[in-house]
With several copies, the nearest count.
Chain A
Amino acid sequence: MARGDLACRRRAVGQAWVLWIPAGLALALVVLPVAGLLVRTDYARLPALLTSSASLNALRLSLVTAGASTVACVLLGVPLAVVLARATGRGVRVLRAVVLLPLVLPPVVGGLALLFLFGSNGFLGRLLAEVADVRITFTTAAVVLAQTFVAMPFLVVSLEGALRGAGDRYEQVAATLGARPWTVFRRVTLPLLLPALGSGAVLSFARALGEFGATITFAGSLEGVTRTLPLEVYNQAEADVDSAVALALLLIVVAVVVIAVARPKAVEGRT
């Protein structure tokens, strides 16, 4: 990276062709089911479904909440990842495992855990109600909270891996050039982290966008307030699978657009 003798008009290192076999299988495993969905979709009903107010509300809500929780994940998760990756000491190892917990909690249980904390009998819930007369459950804020809870580990884990892989040589150089830790973070750590931050943010956004169990448990499901697209899909699926599939397609399209727009900049834009 530091030396560019071989950086431009470079020939890509050849890939072993055997790799294409498992890679193809993996791709098939992902693509075929989605293709199956596309085949089974009732396209005649698509326009009506997609323009129904329930769908549009859900779509809007999903984009807003997933966006907000991705921002929250980045703002909170980047510092956490940096601290975890660079800090030494044995406590850190335990913290690292703790951060992964929301990953393994079934989302419904995660929602319950949030409810126990922020609910009207929960410690923070009661505090907030008394101090600020604010209720969190059943609000859009609860959706964002639930999504942030489940999505943050994705960001933290992907960043931490990248941070450890990269080492801190550039940070050391920056320190010898007189940069204070905050400057080092802002001008060296963060920019070098961008590609990983890109994929981490995409992962969190995707996880937040698809989040269902924690949301419905903690935030409930009310059109326009807490019923995100996955909840709407689930709801539709109760009555009519085909319309659920059609709605899921909407989700896919949104995701692909967001990823296609966001990813190249974040992930590849480091020339």
Chain B
Amino acid sequence: GTSSGEGERTLRVFAAASLTEVFGALEQRFEDDHPGVDVQLNLAGSSRLAQQINEGAPADVFAAADEASMGIVRQTGALTGDPMIFAYNRMTIAVQPGNPKNINYFTDLQRPDLTVVVCAPQVPCGAATQKLQQNTGVVLNPVSEEQDVKAVLNKVAMGEADAGMVYHSDVVSAAGKVEGIEFARSSGAINRYPIAVLAETGQPDLAGAFRDLVFSETGKAELRKAGFGTR
């Protein structure tokens, strides 16, 4: 669909909120490549997007931040083909710039003098944190279980919390407002980002083209720039 003669077409891409920057850039690129096509990003939490799709939202592409959300949509047979993983994200400890509290290991987060913030177990980053705790036997005592990872990041960035469990990509996008502390066991909880074209789409060609853009070198470069891992 590169012909501009067919008039305005709209491609609706439902993407997890954590993909805001990456997909914003890809939208621009895709629209440049496909004149007459307007990409509309619907950005929200993955599970909310899944809910919307199941209630009949007009989506062409769905990019989720976790496999569980994709699974909810898949169950209803709304996908064409299997979802494909296009990005990875690993957990990291976000601390204030300069690491004033001297946090170096995951076990440091047990220190009673620290204010720690994590995601709620119901959201992907919280699930990952929980998994890490199980793997390591560390028991965190957070002051808050946030609903999304950006909230955790903000609490650290604003100095309310000394440390927060976030994704690597979040530390990258925070551009110096927080510092990431890598730790060895983080590989035990890798988060996978799946993407799929929806069965109800009226324009499988365009949707496929967008998915391909995500997997292209351009896409990968954008994802890496934002701190995601790619295949």
Contacts and interface: CB of A to CB of B under 8 A. Distances in A.
Interface stretch (A61-69, A84-92, A114-122, A155-163): A114-122
Contacts of A217: 48, 51-52, 151, 154
Which of A115, A219, A220, A221 is packed against the most chain B CB atoms within 10 Å? A220
A193 interface: no
Contact of B146 (A116, A221, A236, A239): A221
B84 interface: no
A148 to B, nearest CB: 19
A85 to B, nearest CB: 36
Given A121-B56, A216-B44, A222-B41, A238 B123 contact: yes
A205 interface: no
Interface in A98-129: 112, 115-116, 119-122, 125
A157 B21 CA distance: 40
B157 interface: yes
Contact of A239 (B58, B142, B151, B173): B173
Contacts of A216: 44, 48, 146-147, 151
B160 A221 contact: no
A207 interface: no
A50 B147 CA distance: 21
Interface string B90-111: 0000000000000000000000
B158 A119 contact: yes
A220 B47 contact: no
Contacts of B6: none
A28 interface: no
B56 A226 contact: no
A225 B143 CA distance: 9
A112 B151 CA distance: 11
Contact of B55 (A137, A222, A224): A137
A116 B154 CA distance: 12
Given A121-B159, A137-B160, A222-B40, A239 B21 contact: yes
A224 B27 CA distance: 15
Contact of B57 (A122, A138, A235): A138
A112 B159 CA distance: 13
A125 B56 CA distance: 10
Interface string A190-226: 0000000000000000000000000011011111111
A237 interface: yes
A241 interface: yes
A223 B40 contact: yes
A41 to B, nearest CB: 15
A75 to B, nearest CB: 28
A235 B20 contact: yes
B47 A237 contact: yes
A185 interface: no
Contact of B160 (A115, A223, A237): A115
A263 interface: no
B155 interface: yes
Nearest to B155: A220
Interface string B11-44: 0101001101100000000000000000011111
Given A138-B52, A220-B44, 4 more contacts: A121-B159, A216-B146, A216-B151, A238-B47
Q: Which 6 A-B pairs have the closest CB atoms?
A: A120-B56, A220-B144, A119-B55, A238-B122, A239-B122, A138-B143
